[in-house]
Structure 1
Amino acid sequence: MTFYNAKLPGSISQGSEFAPVSLVDIARGPTGHDQRRSRRSRRLRRCNIGKNIRTVDDVYDILSFFEVMDGPAHSFAIQNLIDYKTCKPSGTVTALDAAIGIGDGVNLAFQLKKQYKVTKVDASVIAVDRTIYLPVLGTVLVAVDGVLKTEAVDYIIDYATGALTFIAGHEPADTKAVTAGFAFNEKVRFDTNDLGHVMEFFRVGSVPSIPLVEVPFDA
């Protein structure tokens, strides 16, 4: 169905529940050893933001959004305040946060990514890429070989796909690292066909459960 690049009204704040979900099949053999096979190349997130709803106006805004999205039929954007930028939540985004490619003197097109990293006991680093499709306008910083570049002069960003395209004549030179930092949203849909709501008392209402699930970008 349709993706609407509109953010769910209200804030994703204290009390929100988020969970990255993997699909791993685990079979245990007679010796006790596990055989594990992932059925998905990336984790998709689930969340529940029902605890954010405090007033009847909040309830009305959510119900209006639910109506427009036809329940789970259409997808939209949210921001997970625990994981919404290329650095830690308390950090400041820099152009060196994430490696997104290596120049070859010809290629103009790159895709925005974020890395999750674990340092092993031997000090080597394991990094996993997450493709980012919905960078936040005005937050993207890009560098080539550590030198900060200028949007609309050196490159352009498609804020609906996360595609970074260097302008002809500004393509990264051979072996030069292309890095970026930015804030981003996630593409989700409602994970329910009904949205029960409660009138608590004067001007106070609640929606006990608002389950959302991240969807693949091409879905």
Structure 2
Amino acid sequence: MAFHEVRFPVNIALGATGGPERRTEIVALGSGHEERNTRWAASRRRYNAGYGVRTLDEIHEVIAFFEARRGRLHGFRWKDHADWKSCPPSATPAPLDQALGVGDGATATFALVKRYASGGVSELRAIAKPVAGSVRVAVDGAEQAEGSDVAVDTAAGTVTFQPGREPANGAVVTAGFAFDVPVRFDTDHLAINLAAFSAGDIPDIPIVEIRL
């Protein structure tokens, strides 16, 4: 299998449903108390793109995309319109949005991450598929120039400082960015409904996040 660096049609994804999923085991004790244990270290996103399909042209677009990915075989990019930036949806990504790490004078590569915080608790999410041209990096608040100071790998979700530009010991590395979710189809069959001459729908197009 492979990952195709192509995004699912954004106009169709806009009408999709879905979001994060976790796997929690709950055991009820004789006392009435519970024991809860999580089986997954990180959440996984699931979506249904069927709600975004409204026209025959969009059905054709989905069929072409599905065939090119060979059903569940190859992964692809997905824009989650509810969560696709290092900042709130109404804001513009800025170089101070997310802390990536602290320099030691030698480390050159840092992975992109996003933190979700509430009530004094935070959860860290690895960002594997940043959007090209959207990544802004800073060291101790000073923005770095892409190319001359730092290189961005949009296929791996990392930023690498050029030789001689590695962050100094104790320097805080931050970044802002837009990103996609790496996903695949969760079906090998599309059930297409041609209810009208010029319209139709695909009620169920399940899509699931993949680990890279």
Q: Which residue of 1 aligns with 2:151?
A: 156
- Structure 1 unaligned segments of length 5 or more: list them: none
- Structure 2 unaligned segments of length 5 or more: list them: none
Q: RMSD of the TM alignment (CA)?
A: 1.2
For each residue in 1:14-34, what CA deviation from the matched residue of structure 2 results, as whole angstroms up to 9, or x when unmatched? 4x2112111111112222222
**2:125 matches 1:130:** yes
Q: Which residue of 2 aligns with 1:13?
A: 14
Paired residues of 1:142 and 1:178 also in contact (CA < 8 A):
yes
SS in 1 for 2:72: helix
* Aligned counterparts of 1:164 and 1:31: Cα–Cα separation in 2: 51
Q: Which residue of 1 aligns with 2:186?
A: 191
1:10: how far off? 4.2
The match for 2:135 among 140, 143, 152 is 140
* Aligned counterparts of 1:10 and 1:52: Cα–Cα separation in 2: 10
Alignment of 1:8-157 (within 5 A): 8-11=8-11, 12-14=13-15, 16-118=16-118, 120=119, 125-157=120-152
SS in 2 for 1:67: helix
Paired residues of 1:8 and 1:76 also in contact (CA < 8 A):
yes
> What TM-score results when the alignment is normalised by the length of structure 1?
0.92
Q: Tell me the amino acid that sits aligned with residue 57 of structure 1.
A: D
The match for 2:165 among 162, 165, 170 is 170
Provide runs of 4+ in structure 1 moved above 3 Å. none
Q: Tell me the amino acid that sits aligned with residue 98 of structure 1.
A: Q
Q: Which residue of 2 aligns with 1:209?
A: 204
**2:2 matches 1:2:** yes
Paired residues of 1:95 and 1:179 also in contact (CA < 8 A):
yes
SS in 2 for 1:205: coil
SS in 2 for 1:94: coil
Identical-pair percentage = 38
Paired residues of 1:10 and 1:58 also in contact (CA < 8 A):
no
Q: Tell me the amino acid that sits aligned with residue 44 of structure 1.
A: R
Paired residues of 2:10 and 2:79 also in contact (CA < 8 A):
no
Paired residues of 2:94 and 2:136 also in contact (CA < 8 A):
yes
SS in 2 for 1:71: coil
* Aligned counterparts of 2:29 and 2:51: Cα–Cα separation in 1: 43
Q: Tell me the amino acid that sits aligned with residue 195 of structure 1.
A: L
